[in-house]
Amino acid sequence: MNQLVNPLGKRPRKRAAALAIACGFLLVLPSCGIPALRGPKPGPGALPTYDLRKEDPKSDLPPAFEAADSSDNSSRLRVEEFFDDATLVALVRGAIGGNQELRILSENVQIASNEIISRKGAYLPSISPAGGIGIEKTSLYTIPGVTILNDPFAPGRFLPDPIPNFLLAPLFLWTPDIWWQLHNARDAAVMRYYAAAEARNAFVTQLIADIADNYYQLMAFDQRIRILDETIEIMEQSLEMAKNTKEGARGTELPVQRFLAEVRRNQSEKQIVRQEIVEAENRINFLLGRNPQHVDRMTGDFIDLKLHELGVGVPAELLRNRPDIRQAERELAAAGLDVKVARKQFYPQGFINSTVGYQGFDPKYMFLTPEGLIAGAAGNLLVPFINRKAIKADYLSANARQLQAVYEYQRVVLNAFVEVVNRLAKVDNYRRSIEIKREQLAALEESVSVATRLFQFARADYVDVLFAQRDLRDARTILVETKQQELAAIVDTYQALGGGNYIFPIVVPRPMRSFWERFRTHKTPALDVAPTPIGEPLNPAAPEPPQSQAAEPFTDPLAPGPADRVPPPPTGPAVDAESKPPGEANPVVEDKPPADRIAIPPPSPPGDVLPAPLPSPMDDGAGSNAP
């Protein structure tokens, strides 16, 4: 008997085991055909043994990146410490609070925080209160129509036709995160939140640099206005000497017209510089988010202006201090998590839903317990077995985006080092160029003084004076532009090192904080982090003036302004300098003008009679009074 019973009992177990093996095979089979990922290529300067896919490739990094932090890194300086100018610091403070693009980037941070909430809610159970009212007309020639003719709760009475239906049953939905797919999606959203915050900090560093660059450009324009004013004054003096020489029958009309044309040329250039001042002021106003108005700036010697000494530190600090590098790093981490999310789509996905509540065709019967109670639960398991092309395409696209993030990170790091090296070299080379140009300027100032004295005593042609004054003006203008480029290089180096990235501290996103902290700040979710206040400079270079003395007052660019005019020549008898013997040396000027001023020659000594004309080789030393 036992020999007959045992085989019959083993057959169902074998059938169940075979069914379980087949189901397991069907579940595992889709995950066996996952495409292979493509690896990234090494970046520039990487060692042959460097592998980005290693969990700890620290041993393969260049030795310079293993050094400790340096105390002389300029990125550690606050804005008010690096810029010793209260006016400039006030402009930066106003830009932090009023720039529109900065506000847009702050909203991007808030959007990224909201995305974390969405991703976090995807793997948490959800309960949705549900209710409904319906009506149904059943045919009498159907089984349901025949069975509901009599009301079982009221014998002898018919059920209403059509039959109403009342339902009150909350719905419970849950997607179990078996493969940690939804958690990886949440973590990717967290990384993008940090990337959005770093993008805001990168813009802040660039905003500070743009304001400082335009501020020093305004100071350079003011210096150019002073140079043009002094040049016009010198040219007018030369114009008067040319007129006196002509009236004294020792010159022609040509020098007068040449000097007059040079005066007009400088007056015209002055108007162009004024327009550049208006545009530079409005660029600053735009960065501050305000209407066009005059921008105050510091007065003083622009050529001798010095900023804080630059300190680069070690190369590894760029990876921590540059917001754009940190942003690329966060984007790379998010792209890696996206690959994991796409990979989990090849695995079986489970869904659970259930409901419990009350249902009835009459409200008075609806809440009878347990007669009116309904309940149900179901679980679904989806296996991507056939037609997985869409999943493969998403997976390969995620891999391609990850490679893009790797190459973008390499590009940003390389660009950071190139910027620092270029700008440090620019600071050094322009500083040396300024020292050489100072010597050139001193020589040109002396040449203008000598040429002017020789022209007064008719020992030099007007062309020598004209060219000497023009060269001096060009040299002073180039010196101012070179100084402005040096200051811009210092400011840009401060930005390239990550200066100013401390203003908006990055905190843990609000959805990832504890429940009590989120409850405490639930009324102001977008105002969790305030910018770090910018103080006053510790050692300001100059007091904050109400308006730069050298700056042109703010006027409407469309309104016509008064034109510069040459003052009329003085009335009275023409005067000229006394002639000197050929062998007499030129007078020595003991008091030299400052380096930033043009020496204005003294006027010719007056005389009661016209001096004798110079001897001409055509009349054998006899003078001629003919013009």
Q: What is the pLDDT of residues 348-377, one digit of tens each?
A: 888 899 988 888 887 887 888 888 888 888
Is the distance from CB of 494 to CB of 209 less than 8 angstroms?
Answer: yes
Report residue 50 as tokens: 């460097």
Give the SS3 label for residue 590. Answer: coil
Q: Which of 35, 39, 20 is nearest to 407 (CA)?
A: 39
Look at 70 and 625; give whichever has higher pLDDT.
70
Contacting residues for 626 by C-beta, under 8 A, at least 6 apart: 249
- Give the torsion through C-alpha atoms of 151, 157, 160, 166, to 10 deg: -40
**pLDDT at residue 546 greater than cutoff 90:** no
CA 123 centroid distance within chain? 36
Judged against a pLDDT cut of 80, whether residue 294 lies above it is answered with yes
600: left (phi over 0), alpha (psi -120 to 50) or beta: beta
Judged against a pLDDT cut of 90, whether residue 403 lies above it is answered with yes
List, for residues 167-206, the tens digit of each pLDDT value.
Answer: 888 888 888 888 888 999 999 999 999 999 999 999 999 9
Sequential DSSP letters for 539-564: S-SS---SS-SSSPPP--TTSPPPPP
Quote the CA–CA distance of 184 and 455 in Å, as a whole number: 84
For the chain, the first-to-last Cα distance in angstroms comes to: 154
The better pLDDT of the pair 278, 178 is held by 278
Which CATH topology does 79-121+179-291+313-346+389-520 take?
Outer membrane efflux proteins (OEP) (1.20.1600)
Of 449-453, 587-591, 621-625, which has the strongest mean pLDDT?
449-453
Highest-scoring range by mean pLDDT, 124-133, 140-149, 222-231, 568-577? 222-231
Confidence of residue 47 (pLDDT cuts 50, 70, 90): low
CA atoms of 452 and 5, how far apart (whole Å): 132
Which residues are paired to 380 by β-bridges? Answer: 351
Instruction: Name the E strands within 17-146.
Output: 126-128, 131-136
CA atoms within 13 A on the CB side of 507: 16
Tell me the two tokens of residue 21: 């093996």
Of 497, 45, 550, 41, nearest to 314 (Cα)?
Answer: 497
Write down the pLDDT at residue 91.
Answer: 94
Hey, what are 30's tokens? 């889709």
pLDDT digits (tens, 9 = 90+) for 266-276: 899 999 999 99
Domain layout of the chain by residue ranges: 79-121+179-291+313-346+389-520, 131-168+349-382
pLDDT at 77: 86
Most confident residue range from 128-137, 550-559, 577-586: 128-137
Alpha-carbon gap, residue 99 to 289, rounded angstroms: 5
Look at the block and give the residue holding tokens 């985006």: 401
Longest CA–CA span in the chain (Å) reads 162
Q: Which of 58-67, 107-116, 254-263 has the highest mean pLDDT?
A: 107-116
Instruction: Name residue, tokens 């009074």.
Output: 625
CA 201 to chain centre: 8
pLDDT value, residue 208: 94
Q: How many angstroms separate the CA atoms of 295 and 211, rounded? A: 11
**pTM confidence score:** 0.74
Q: Could you give the CA distance from residue 235 to residue 468 in angstroms, rounded to a whole number?
A: 11
- Contacts for 37 with CB less than 8 Å, ≥ 6 apart: 339, 399
Considering only 444-453, 483-492, 517-526, which range has the smallest mean pLDDT? Answer: 517-526
CA distance 390 to 547: 66
What's the chain's average pLDDT? 76
Q: Over range 610-615, report the average pLDDT.
A: 40
Is the Cβ–Cβ distance between 225 and 550 less than 8 Å? yes
What per-residue confidence (pLDDT) applies to 19?
A: 72
Residue 601, helix vs strand vs coil? coil
